């Protein structure tokens, strides 16, 4: 372990599931390639927002980052220690697995599901403190919980501490979930669609609270969302990064403001087009895709997985897989042959309905 090690480092991560055919016992099992070959480092005090359509693998990638989903390929390390090796008995890790678990927390989309309906807020918040900070006495625990309730605006805290989940609004439940994660003094919090279930007016309030707490606690955040405007709000306000996933692959990653100002992957342009607040002039135009439908993740397209929809796709895109290319000086990268002047892409025939010179839409 070195001081420069990222909090979490993912290398060449694959997460493939066997789909056994559901109700049909005679169906051959199929492999769902939920995540394929993803590299991602999350340094100290970093905010990364990952965005993508349903089935893009973003939640699976997030769970792999915090050790809740074991990859079928590649490695996930916490401060240089392989998480899944640390979990093995007799592995003698440099960081004990219990310490890794404490350091990597998650907030779910539905905070209600992670709160015990029969426990008061105080009891729910005391449980992890008892486990991970057993030296704290009951009074210190209570003081810590009340201070956190006050910090997130749940006042008077004594009143909120005695409430049950059904006596809380959706936004208040999400605040309790946030406190519960922060009481562990984590190094990284995975916020998986954490504001999607909230009313629009509450979303900004909860995201502002996350940003505030992220700064106060110096915690890194991995924010997963299907909604580009939420991902953008959080990543831009935190001066963080934005990643775009498509059918299991991380197709673009970089400084949030830069990715949105100058998207390089044709799919990022689609997401931007589909978010009217980001492209007010383009909202009425045709979407910049040849096909609206997303291919089946069980049988993703060959070559570049976006070739069935991409307005710039050529025969080469069907056959070869593009690698990540860096763009400019900033750590901005995207995987598209158009970023490589020497690629055979430029000598290949466009697919039906596509054009190498398709206008920027
Ligand atoms: Fe489109 Fe080809 Fe680039 Fe893929 S590699 S995004 S199909 S141009």
Q: Which residues contact 34 (CB under 8 A, 6 or more apart)?
A: 15, 16, 17, 57, 60, 248, 297
Return d(Cα 109, Cα 89) in angstroms, integer: 32
Residue 30 in domain: no
Residue 222 in domain: yes
Chain segment 183-242, per-residue pLDDT in tens: 888 999 999 988 887 888 788 888 998 998 888 888 999 999 999 999 999 999 999 999
Residues written for the chain: 361
Both 279 and 243 in one domain: the answer is no
Both 272 and 253 in one domain: the answer is no
Q: What is the pLDDT of residue 358?
A: 59
Contact (Cβ atoms closer than 8 angstroms) between residue 241 and residue 47: yes
Q: What is the pLDDT of residue 3?
A: 59
Q: What is the pLDDT of residue 217?
A: 87
CA angle 354/345/305 to nearest 5° reads 65
Both 280 and 240 in one domain: the answer is no
Atom of ligand 1 nearest to the CA of 337: 5
User: Once rounded to an integer, what is the mean pLDDT over residues 42-63?
Assistant: 94
Of 261, 286, 303, which one is at a domain's C-terminal end? 261
> Is the pLDDT score of 18 beyond 90?
no
User: Sorting pLDDT into bands at 50, 70 and 90, what band is 278?
Assistant: low
Q: What is the pLDDT of residue 219?
A: 93
Residue 279 in domain: yes
What is the DSSP code string of 82-106?
EHHHHHSTT---SS-HHHHHHHEEE
> Is 316 near ligand 1, meaning CB less than 6 Å away?
no
Q: What is the pLDDT of residue 234?
A: 92
Ligand 1 pocket, mutate which of 246, 265, 306, 361 (most atoms under 8 A from CB)? 306
Q: What is the pLDDT of residue 319?
A: 96
Both 294 and 173 in one domain: the answer is no
Both 344 and 246 in one domain: the answer is no
> Is 78 near ligand 1, meaning CB less than 6 Å away?
no
Residue 32 in domain: no
Residue 252 in domain: yes
Q: What is the pLDDT of residue 38?
A: 96
Both 167 and 210 in one domain: the answer is yes
Both 190 and 248 in one domain: the answer is yes
Both 202 and 257 in one domain: the answer is yes
Count up the domains in the chain and report the number.
2
Both 246 and 276 in one domain: the answer is no
User: Once rounded to an integer, what is the mean pLDDT over residues 68-87?
Assistant: 96
Residue 61 in domain: yes
Alpha-helical runs (H) found in 152-299: 157-161, 170-182, 200-217, 228-237, 256-261, 266-273
Q: What is the pLDDT of residue 7?
A: 96
CA angle 342/348/354 to nearest 5° reads 115
What is the DSSP code string of 342-357?
TSGGGGSPBPTT--TT
User: Sorting pLDDT into bands at 50, 70 and 90, what band is 360?
Assistant: very low
User: Sorting pLDDT into bands at 50, 70 and 90, what band is 361?
Assistant: very low
Q: Name 76's bridge partners.
A: 10
Atom of ligand 1 nearest to the CA of 316: 2
Ligand 1 pocket, mutate which of 263, 271, 317 (most atoms under 8 A from CB)? 317
CATH code for the domain in which residue 225 is found: 3.40.50.300
Both 77 and 97 in one domain: the answer is yes
Mean pLDDT (the chain, rounded): 89
Domain that residue 229 falls in: 8-25+37-261
Contact (Cβ atoms closer than 8 angstroms) between residue 231 and residue 223: yes
Chain segment 27-40, per-residue pLDDT in tens: 667 788 899 999 99
Give the distance (Å) from ligand 1 centre to CA of residue 320.
Answer: 10
- Which residue would you say has higher pLDDT here, 341 or 112? 341
Residue 3 in domain: no
Both 341 and 300 in one domain: the answer is yes
> Is 306 near ligand 1, meaning CB less than 6 Å away?
yes
Both 225 and 299 in one domain: the answer is no
Cis peptide before 156 (omega within 30 of 0): yes
Of 213, 239, 261, which one is at a domain's C-terminal end? 261
Of 261, 285, 306, which one is at a domain's C-terminal end? 261
Q: What is the dihedral of CA 296, 299, 300, 301, to 10 degrees?
A: -110
Give the distance (Å) from ligand 1 centre to CA of residue 247.
Answer: 14
> Is the pLDDT score of 24 beyond 80?
no
Atom of ligand 1 nearest to the CA of 251: 6
Give the distance (Å) from ligand 1 centre to CA of residue 357.
Answer: 13
Give the distance (Å) from ligand 1 centre to CA of residue 325.
Answer: 13
DSSP SS3 for 130: helix
Return d(Cα 202, Cα 174) in angstroms, integer: 11
Q: What is the pLDDT of residue 346?
A: 94
């Amino acid at each position: 372990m070195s001081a420069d090690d990222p909090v979490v480092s993912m290398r060449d991560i694959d997460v493939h599931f066997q789909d056994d055919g559901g109700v049909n016992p005679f169906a051959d099992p199929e492999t769902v390639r939920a995540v394929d070959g993803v590299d991602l480092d999350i340094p100290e005090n970093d905010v990364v927002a990952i965005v993508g359509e349903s089935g893009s693998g973003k939640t699976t990638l997030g769970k792999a980052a915090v050790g809740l989903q074991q990859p079928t390929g590649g490695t996930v390390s916490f401060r240089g220690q392989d998480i899944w090796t640390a979990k093995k008995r007799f592995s003698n890790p440099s960081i004990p697995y219990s310490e890794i678990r404490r350091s990597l927390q998650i907030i779910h989309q539905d905070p209600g599901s992670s709160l015990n309906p029969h426990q008061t807020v105080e009891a729910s918040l005391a449980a992890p403190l008892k486990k991970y900070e057993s030296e704290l006495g009951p009074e210190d625990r209570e003081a810590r919980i009340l201070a956190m309730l006050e910090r997130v605006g749940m006042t008077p805290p004594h009143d909120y501490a005695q409430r049950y989940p059904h006596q809380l609004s959706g936004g208040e439940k999400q605040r309790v979930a946030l406190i519960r994660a922060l009481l562990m003094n984590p190094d990284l919090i995975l916020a998986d669609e954490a504001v999607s279930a909230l009313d629009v007016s509450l979303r900004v309030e909860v995201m502002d609270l996350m940003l505030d707490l992220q700064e106060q606690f110096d915690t890194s955040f991995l924010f997963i969302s299907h909604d580009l405007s939420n991902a953008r709000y959080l990543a831009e306000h935190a001066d963080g990064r934005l990643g775009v996933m498509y059918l299991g692959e991380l197709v673009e990653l970089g400084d949030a403001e830069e990715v949105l100002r100058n998207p390089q992957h044709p799919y990022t342009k689609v997401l931007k087009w589909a978010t009217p607040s980001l492209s007010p002039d383009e909202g009425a135009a045709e979407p910049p895709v040849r096909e609206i439908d997303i291919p089946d993740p069980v049988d993703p397209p060959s070559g570049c997985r976006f070739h069935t929809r991409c307005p710039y796709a050529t025969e080469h895109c069907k056959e070869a897989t593009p690698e990540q290319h860096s763009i400019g000086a900033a750590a901005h990268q995207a995987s598209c042959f158009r970023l490589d002047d020497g690629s055979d892409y430029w000598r290949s025939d466009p697919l039906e309905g596509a054009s190498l010179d398709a206008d920027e839409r």
